[in-house]
Structures are given as structure tokens and as C-alpha cells.
Amino acid sequence: MAKPPLLFLSPIMPALGGNGLAMRAGATLEALAAGYEVHLLVLPLAAPPEPPADAVRRWCARILVHPVGRHVDPLFRLIEGVRDPDEQLAALLAYPRPALCRFATSASVREAMELARGPDYRVVHVLRLYLGPFAEPYLGRRECRMDLDDDEASTRRRIADLLRQDGQERMAAAEDSEAVRYQVMASALLPRFDRIYVASAADRDLIAARYPGADVAVLPNVIRPPGPVPAPAGEPFTFLFVGNFGYYPNEDAARHFCGRILPLLRERAGRPFGVHLVGAQPSLAVRMLAAEPEITVAGQVSEVGPAYRSAHAVVVPVRGGGGTRIKVLEAFAYRRPVVATAVGAEGLGVTAGRHLLTADGPADFAAACARLMTEPALARALADQGAAFAADRVPARLRL
């Protein structure tokens, strides 16, 4: 029998690796293609999409791209043009929708619907709440599913807390305002969806309590195994941190590790070590970290495999944000031991001391890193257990 047609709305081109959101979109697409004829509509909010991989082409009946950037809410354009910083912030705080929804004008939504015109879709699957307005024409007319990935309002509040700790009160106020707007949008939209997906059991319980009667399910992050990965050879012992530095919690994590943890690690290490920072959009503050002799900043790379293969351990010193850390799973899949904060490991269902080491304060984090340098048996055991955990979280196991 022919597979029923499904429309998949994604803010990014699905991919097999690289960006965490693209990896989630890729794993979701693979799972959807097992039961549906998938028509993919990419609405690139941040940058032009990458070309689709061959696997993505195989999984899709059609791949469509709607250039949302040519549609911007005129009110938001006015706010962008305000020169006085205080007046601009006041106007931004009063803006009625999340900033990423500025592209979801009535004309843009109509164009997207016209572009996707085709079969009588059985299901419309939407990735991330901020694409909700593009699903509104289908709500109540088709089975509609929303993959939140995480609770956006909670994530924004935690980012605001980080910004305040760094003394960035203006940006913190903007994030708090975004949190309120996401909460309002979620309250208006989510009860209208037939099913809601989140990445962790904790977020499932939170969303289910907030919207009684909603069908909320866990769609966990998964990782594609990279194949056999040998142990790294040579010196110095290298710690790796991978993340998109355009996402503030990742920038904060890099600065926190290099500024507060690294000096303590120098005292404990007893041998040379290096720190390798890899990720897109490194700010000037992140690039300047390379002034320290142990630190290298690679920025964006076309393939992260070489960085993992040359690393002895992976650090995830993240202090805010939300969702689940797909980069922890990636480190597990590359058979590298991990040291993470509690926030950095949350949502995965891992056990501290078995799958990875967890530490929050700078001194404890430095001590955990030093243990991996001085206890090779511990490092191997963590790498083995992490790899086994990742092997159970593969795209083939997803069911939608």
C-alpha cells in the first residue's frame, strides 16, 4: 500500500551530523519516512539552508524551501531601526510574539501553504514552537503534531539567569520577555495540536501538567554511530568542547571552563594538556580564549569526527539552556569519556559515575577532569558505558 502523505515543517535542513537541531530533524525525518511519504518544507529562520544530504533526498518525496527572510513583520523592522538602545529595548519588550516569529507574516504563511500544496496530507509534523504559525492553516483540518524539542519558555528564563550572572541586564530582560511570549504562544497553540513531542521525560511531565488532556510523548534525541573509533594517541591530553557558540549557553560554557576551571586544572593536572573548542559562530570573547597556551579555537568545521578522534575526553560545562544534550550522545558514540555539569547532562537519563562524571563547581569540575587524566581505567570504563548507552539511542529505534 502507498504510504500516507505527511508534511514536515522544519526550521533547518535535516542532517546526519553537525548542528544539534539539524541532527534531531534528520533523525525525525528518517523515522517519519518509514511510515509516510514525507514532503519536507524548510523554513530557514537563521541562514540559508545547507544542500540536503543524499539520505535526506531518499527519505523525502519533495524538498521545498520557503525563503522566509523576505517576509519580516513591519513592526519588527521599525524596532530594528530604532537607534536609541533604551527605546529599542522598550519596543522589543513590547513586541507581541517571539522574535523568531517575525518571519511568520500572513503573506509568508500563505506563501508557505501555497508552496506545499500537493497531496491531501494525512499528518502535519512541526519542529519547534516558533514555526507554529505556519501550521495554523492545518490545525483542526489535519492531524497536527508539534515537536517542541524543549520547553522554550523555561530555556529562555535560564538563559536570562546566565546573562544576569554575567552582568548583561539588558539582554537578560530581553530573554525574560521572550520567555513570556513563548509561554503565551504555547498556551494558545499547543492545546490545538493532536500530539506534542518533547525530548525528555522531565519536559513531558512539565508540559502534561501545564496542559491537562494533551497527548504528550517523549521523542528522545538519538545519535548515528560513527563506526569504530580508536583510542587517541600521543600527548598532550586533550579536552574537547563542541557547540554552536552563537547559542549563548555554549559561549558561557566555554568562557566558564577556560576562565574558572582551567586555572584549577593546571594545579591538579601534573602533566601537559590542551583544550580544543569547536563550533560555529565563535564570538570575539571565545576567539580571545586562544590567547591561553593550552587553548585552541577551531570555529566551525565541516566534519567533527577528526576533533573527537584526536580528543582524550569531552567536557560539557554548560550552566543553562534547555532540552537534552545531543553532543553528550555524540561524545558517547565516539567512545570518549565525558565530564559534564548537571545541566549539561540533564534529560538524557544517564547515571553519574557510570556513563559520565558530573560536577558543577569549578573546583569539582577540575577535579573530575584531572581524574580522567590520572585514572585511565576509569576513563576507559566511562567510555565503554557511554558507548553502550549511545548504541541504544539510534534513529532506527524512533517510532512516530
Is 231's pLDDT higher than 90? no
Q: Which of 192, 170, 193, 173 is nearest to 181 (CA)?
A: 173
What is the average per-residue pLDDT within 141-168? Answer: 94
pLDDT digit string, tens, across residues 270-286: 889 999 999 989 999 99
> Packing angle between helix 85-94 and helix 74-81, nearest 10 degrees?
160
At 369 the pLDDT is 98
Specify the amino acid at residue 57: R
pLDDT digit string, tens, across residues 340-365: 999 999 888 899 999 999 999 999 99
pLDDT digit string, tens, across residues 40-62: 999 998 788 889 999 999 999 99
Those residues with Cβ within 8 angstroms of residue 191's Cβ, 6 or more apart along the chain or in another chain: 211, 213, 214
At 1 the pLDDT is 67
Cα separation, 149 vs 370, whole angstroms = 34
Cα separation, 216 vs 12, whole angstroms = 23
Cα separation, 326 vs 331, whole angstroms = 9
Is 234's pLDDT higher than 80? no
Task: Measure CA 176 to chain center.
Answer: 19
pTM: 0.93
Is 129's pLDDT higher than 90? yes
Domains within the chain, CATH numbers bracketed: 5-218 (3.40.50.11720), 237-397 (3.40.50.2000)
Specify the amino acid at residue 65: V
What is the average per-residue pLDDT within 16-24? Answer: 88
Q: Which of 248, 339, 260, 262 is nearest to 293 (CA)?
A: 262
Q: Which of 65, 63, 146, 70 is nearest to 107 (CA)?
A: 70
DSSP letter at 211? S
At 228 the pLDDT is 82
Residue 229 pLDDT class (50, 70, 90 cuts): confident
Residue 159 pLDDT class (50, 70, 90 cuts): very high
φ, ψ for residue 395, nearest 5 deg: -55, -35
